[in-house]
Structure 1
């Protein structure tokens, strides 16, 4: 459409030039009069304030009207179609997106699609997690709409905006706005609308951490601190860091980390790590156990698995799926045999 409009505008410009030159030569008009009379003719206004006195002028105007009016109508039609189609497409696209957002359940709301928020969104998409992004800048919002994300173009600090993201049904919220004060405000609003939502907030200034925690953030992360730590470790322990990068970020390796909650009735309750058969039967490895807000890192083989424990495990995707099936079953023997 844009190319066609450009060509039509070029044709209109050429018509204007030809009409102006032709009227100067045939009717001996001034440049201003010739331009005015040409525009008057091709737009079919026809005030009649300029008279044609020569046969050559009449002949030239016939061709100008036949050609110029057609070019003008074509250009006007393209502009009208572009505006109408653009508005209709925008309205239809917005309604379609709103319906998809309305259908979300246990999703994640990302506030801010800047440098940090963008990486969050790409990772959530890779993990297959349903999410919606709230972004106030129009260019960024349009960019992520084109990339297929669900986007709300509005101010994330407003309660109504969070309600449009159906925060009452959301599982988590990531406050990734560029200013700590905005993230504090978003955290307060989110917890006020949904006290049970899990909030992870970005901070730039160290003194903002306590404010974000008091506002209700469950986790506060500083991209600067994490980036600095990673750069230092890349110098001190480059091989270890490269290995972790390979495991976590290499698309050819499906090694993943997972959190597995041990619910009542699971066949793993009451068993130790050695007798549970987790490593032997699934291949997944338990890195830590979170119990009563205490973290048991690198648990021993005789560590007992209790109801309510949160196992932090690592393994290939199919190994983790196998472990989830085991943990959800009442009788482990039926799964292992």
Structure 2
């Protein structure tokens, strides 16, 4: 039984005992309701002022039994309450200590700036993908509640626009930063600060206004996402091409829930040491050996969709590949030359 349930039960038993004993004393000892209630509380608390004492043999016997029972229930109640507060305090301290140890050893992680609606979605996705991350937000209560529900949650309370907060989040060792704070100006400032501290960090930033998208790119963001633009495009596509989008969504859902296969489309960059570099697409046998379909290849600023077999794959080309998570992971290792 949980501590809070034990407290509720013991308080109910304690209250019922006081009322029942009061009623009995009214009948046996002839006390009025207020005096009976007063005598019941004084007796169970073992205070014993002496202003009221049982006069009948039955009253004395019942009072002795009531004291023994009441003291036991009282100790149990107050012990449960103490466990609730003290145990909860030490549990919180232990969670914080464990989190600080995790943060201390973080490398190649993601930093999520802002834990609003978008930030929660991002954290949930990273959690499911097994990626390490840390959240920065000024709402301490929100973050503490999240840690209570998820012992592996990492956070720092503070303003992400400040350099010292980014440094606490180990931005120099981070793989990427995702800025989802509510104000576009703050997203721009965070991007500028992050790029200045770690020029190699990959930044994805949220923009509510179209004018902010260009400013974020100038500030150094690698990708800018506008929830309103994406949401509007998605709604338009659903209206114009409902059958196609439903097919894709249904197909990927069937693969996940019926066959436990995570299908995805991934961008895979070809490194210079990769054995795929310099070969024709047909020579790589990506489809035959890795069971992955290449649906596009980006060469500099040119995007080749449904590339023909005689397309030459060069270093720095980006493959748009479709397959399961495991298949894409294997192809990505080859693309990196590892």
| TM-score (ref. length: structure 1) | 0.81
**Residues 59, 161 of structure 1: CA spacing in aligned structure 2 closer, same or farther, 3 A cutoff?**
farther
Q: Distance in 2 between matches of 1:115 and 1:189?
A: 23
Deviations 1:254-296 (A, max 9, x none): 433233332233333333334444345434333344444x242
Change (3 A) 1:49 1:87: same
Distance 1:25 1:211, change over 3 A: farther
- Any conservation in 1 of the 2:280–2:312 contact (CA below 8 Å)? yes
Could you tell which deviates more after superposition, 108-117 or 8-17? 108-117
* Contiguous gaps of at least 5 residues in structure 1: 331-337
Residues in 1 aligned to 2:291 and 2:80: alpha-carbon distance in whole angstroms: 63
> How many residues are matched?
328
Counterparts of 1:142 and 1:4, CA distance in 2: 23
Alignment partner of 1:146 is 2:146: no
Segment drifting more, 1-10 vs 279-288: 279-288
Aligned to 1:40: 42
Comparing 311-320 and 136-145, the one that deviates more: 136-145
CA 1:145–1:162: 2 relative to 1, 3 Å: farther
Task: Note closer, same or farther for the CA distance 1:259–1:176 as it changes in structure 2 (3 Å cut).
Answer: same
Deviation at 1:108? 1.4
Paired position in structure 2 for 1:308:
316
Instruction: Find out whether 1:236 has 2:244 as its counterpart.
Output: no
Within 2, Cα distance between the matches of 1:112 and 1:177?
A: 5
Matched-pair contact (CA < 8 Å) for 1:27–1:52: no
The alignment partner of 1:308 has SS state of coil
Contact 1:134 / 1:155 at 8 angstroms: preserved in 2? yes
* C-alpha separation in 2, matches of 1:84 and 1:114: 31
For residues 206 and 122 of structure 2, what CA distance do their matches in structure 1 show? 11
Residue deviations 1:31-65, cap 9 Å, x none? 4444344333322334x273437345555533332
1:121-132 equivalent positions in 2, closer than 5 A: 121-132=123-134
- Which residue does the alignment assign to 2:55? 54
Partner of 2:286: 278
Mapped partners of 1:23, 1:274: distance in 2: 96
Alignment check: 8 A CA contact 2:156 2:169 kept:
no
Structure-2 residue corresponding to 1:8: 10
Give unpaired runs (5+ residues) of structure 2.
Answer: none
C-alpha spacing 1:322/1:63, structure 2 compared with 1 (3 Å): closer
1:71 CA drift (Å): 1.5
Tell me, in whole angstroms, the C-alpha distance in 2 between the residues paired with 1:283 and 1:169.
34
- The alignment's TM-score, normalised by the length of structure 2, stands at 0.81
Q: For residues 158-173 of structure 1, what are the structure 2 equivalents within 5 Å?
A: 159-173=163-177
